[in-house]
Structure 1
Amino acid sequence: MKYLQKVKEQLPQTYPYLNLILNKQFIWLLVLINALLTLYTWVYFSSYETEIIHRNCFFEYEANYENIFRRNLTLAKHPECPVDWISVDDNATVIFNDDFMIDKCSFATVEWVDDFNYKLTNFQEIQNGAQLPKDKEYFHIKCSSNQDEFYTTFAKIFKKEENSDNEKINVFIYLMDSIYRQDWVENLPKSSEFLIKTLGVKTFNQYNIVGDGTISNVVPLLTSKHEHELPPVNKENKKSSYVDHVYPFIWNEFKNELGYKTLYAEDMSFIGTFQMRFVGMSKPPTDHYMRPYQLSTLKINNKPFCIGGRTHARANIEYGEDFIKRYRNTGFFGTLFISEYSHNDLNTIKYIDEDLLKFLEFFHRDIKLREKTILFVMSDHGPRFQETRRSTVGSLKERNPFLSIHIPEIFKKKYPLEFKNLEENSKRILSPFDVHRTLIDIISLEKTGKLSERNDGRAKSLFSSISKNRTCNEAGIDSFWCSCKKQETAVVNEKIIKIAKEFVNFINDFLLIDIKDKCTRLELNNVNNAYLVNKKQEYLEYIFQIETKNNDGGLYEFTAKERFNSDGSSTYIFDKKLISRINKYKNAAHCIANDYPNLRQYCFCKNQTLTSSI
């Protein structure tokens, strides 16, 4: 302070305000004001989620992707895979890697038997520079040298279609599992920057799930229906049909109406979307169907996130690129679904960033492809089993996956109004039903030049005008799954605890009634929270989160309706479609997993002798 006093003495008397500024008390006041402003700014901007939840609408948060890109984050390093001894080019030629002094290689092909079995043909020797059979797609190749052996697999599409100069609009869906919309950009910064800034996709902040997990969102995306609206295909129902016999898949419409070639490729075959709980397909449902190959790779001792000497992502994306290259001039509809990097752990999503970037660069380089292909890059739902999932923010993130769409220039010029509507709809509440309805319109526009007149009362095409005031209810999204709803905290009193206990009894005495001899009877441990979300004269509707006993702390979210009876009592109603298990249950239900896969999230087998990381 001696220095300040000396400065003050040297100041001319014509600067009284500077004397005031150098006053000790005034300086401390400025410091305090600055600290308060800093604190306010930090609270306001860093706790946006709390503010949005307070306003009951998670959608109001619009991520500033540019800020993420400015960080100049580097590509995450993928876990190292071994070096491949051989490669296979687009002409089916096998090329030996000279570094390994290979003595001999042989190959076998993978054949589809059914959705749970495959056949591996006898191995045949193949020479360096020789060709694999071009009418096959899935190969196992083993090689040996004097000192070592190597085993790898390939999925390739070699068959070429005749070139055509048509103007058909192709469609390709790149789908990933369990990623909230901002987590996508945060964890995949390089591919996201290319996607948004170079490809110029539209992103949709208000894309909302319509059910629990993959099946409840992929089935509406591909069929326009909820599972419960379709004939039974689940394993425990003796009257179930094969999935492809009764599910109206959108790829069939592209094939039948437009003559397109079709692809469905999904990794993690041990928990396949149409096989984990369902009876599977009676035959390959698309022209190119990757399931037998994926089943065959389960028997190989691959390093984590590797298939042979390639990354898991590259091995799968390469198959999608082959499909695109082969049919880009004749018309195609393809879906590539990758779950390996995001299903179990948010921290491993980043490993796919480089391979996804390479795919997007491949798409962008091919001008003819880019100018006549609609590309969807999206996730099915947000994270379901992360530790943060039990929070309100975690609940909302699960409900708000990533959706982006690339529209080619030829489409924009031909259908300017439809494109304008799509841009405006980037700020509307949307669901998988709407994406399906958009695919229907692509078919209609290709056939007739007009939007389809199909109307199911809930789905809206992104090419049509959608009200900015559209609600979840109008979009066919139940309030339990909605990211934009009014709710008030319910005091955890005697009545709330009673409702929670009734729900646990609903699990024990209704859902598990047929297998109660195998599963431990659950008990209520704690009511973590409860919210009142609907208040009617005849009933109240709540959303609960509870923890149960006797199953390693099962966490459940569910909707409960309290219906008022004429005698003054209440009846509590639970809907199994509005129940979500939000922590991992691994192999706790091993004793019923094959026969009753729909009940795995509720059953804790009395005999807990098996372990698993799934």
Structure 2
Amino acid sequence: MQIRRRCRRYLVTRTSIFLLTLFSTISTMILINKYFSNNYHQQQNEIDKIFFIDASDFEDANIKPTKNIYLLHEEFFNTTHLACQYPKLTIDNQDIWKHLQPVTKSKPDCEKATNWVYVDNGTFRLSKQALQKHGAIVCAYRPILRSKDDFSTMEGARLFPVVDKMPLVSDFFRADCRARDGSFYSNIHSGIMFDAGLHMRHIWNPMVKTHLGYNILMFGFDSVSRMTFMRFLPKSYSYLIKDLGSIVMKGYNIVGDGTPAALLPILTGKTERELPEARRGHADAETVDRFPWIWKK
């Protein structure tokens, strides 16, 4: 009887281990296949994507289209009978450039000493130069954490000693170090702490192409005209047009002074004065949730 029980227990144990191993292997294979399949299809969609772009968006900025761009020329838009004709502007107009002051490339006046500590792929690292110059280094690590709101921080429990290649326990931290030769180092550093839960969540729910939940993004800069944007941010403009297929709203103009006066008409169809009071501190002011936003239509 005892031999039978032992054999039965042995078979049950071995079978359980086999089934558990099989289940884990299949689950892992499914997750890996799902992860790489989503990435492959997303990359393939990006490669096969073709954008239909106004040819003048390239001509105005003096940039050349790529193979995935299909140019729409002037006759496509049939602008002959437009009440408001777009002016022909050029980015290299010298009458404009003489009033502009481009930012010159210059290096910031930083301290000459090399940091003893740096962050590499989510790990705490000690600089080889500092070790060679000062000898053995011992450091304490103080996490800097978010406090009550976005404008206040607090320090976490002090970790001592910390060693080279230790994983970060916070995205921001203060390092206080002392070297064998008596030198002292203290500085604030930042990095990205590894979050296993976040990675698992990404595997189970991979980010899709429309991960932010919208299909239209309006991107603008306050107090920057279209031509100024093309003059001083040529790489950003080229990326928006060639890589994202953005539509440049050449006919858009503000109808008032300030950000609300400029954005409310295009987002609600009404001027700021035509909308209910929403300014903080004013009588009968309410939130802007009741505004007739375009995404509610």
| Structure with greater contact order relative to length (CA < 8 Å, sep ≥ 6) | 1
- Larger-Rg structure: 2
**What is the TM-score when the length of structure 1 is the normalising length?**
0.24
**What is the TM-score when the length of structure 2 is the normalising length?**
0.43
